[in-house]
Chain A
Amino acid sequence: GAVVSQHPSWVICKSGTSVKIECRSLDFQATTMFWYRQFPKQSLMLMATSNEGSKATYEQGVEKDKFLINHASLTLSTLTVTSAHPEDSSFYICSAPALREGLYEQYFGPGTRLTVT
């Protein structure tokens, strides 16, 4: 089946530093990937759509200069949280669509827990 990995699974960083999170589709190619953020006991909120070969599309209210997205290849998208602050502490999850029984299903990575101190 389609597998999506994320790295790292958790990271602690100091306020003001930048953190890069990788999302990889391991056994399929994805021209599009999605990045979500999830606060404790809340639902997933879509942050942006990562597009291979072009700029990411950000959802309303998400700062594109703070959350840099690069879709470097058909199997890799990266999310960089720049100048991180404690309020950026969250669970970040990526997904990639793969075709199954004629429909695209989203396959999710295991998530990355970011803690900014």
Chain B
Amino acid sequence: SQQGEEDPQALSIQEGENATMNCSYKTSINNLQWYRQNSGRGLVHLILIRSNEREKHSGRLRVTLDTSKKSSSLLITASRAADTASYFCATDGSGGSNYKLTFGKGTLLTVNP
């Protein structure tokens, strides 16, 4: 099956709540990245976590990485309606400027005001 699979596929929460999305992958990676995409728009890079890191924070975002389980999670705290978007994890297995990203299927997050 596809490298980088997120769950849940869709998540609906109320503003102010936390949102957690998970991603699993199958092969070894150098790093894992999370992206956000608003409907019909390009991708916005959120955060990159290296394979030797276990947790990383950026503002209201917290990403964890468990290489033994080949999984990662993205936590958005104190969600806002503006956080409504699709979130994708992407893995890079080769490094260097020629590396290719493999994207998961994404989680559609809806934050209700």
Contacts and interface: CB of A to CB of B under 8 A. Distances in A.
Interface of A: 6, 30-32, 34, 36, 41-46, 49, 91, 93, 95, 97, 99, 103-111, 113
Contacts of B33: 105-106
Interface residues of B, number: 27
Contact of A105 (B41, B48, B96, B106): B48
A110 B45 contact: no
A29 to B, nearest CB: 10
18 contacts: A34-B100, A42-B105, A43-B105, A43-B106, A44-B43, A46-B101, A46-B102, A93-B42, A99-B97, A103-B48, A103-B50, A104-B97, A106-B90, A108-B42, A108-B45, A110-B42, A111-B41, A113-B40
Which applies to chain A's interface (DSSP): helix, strand, loop or mixed?
strand
A44 B88 contact: yes
B101 A106 contact: yes
A91 B41 CA distance: 9
Contacts of A106: 33, 45, 90, 101
Contacts of B108: 41
A108 B100 CA distance: 13
Nearest to B31: A103
B1 interface: no
B99 A91 contact: no
Contacts of B102: 46
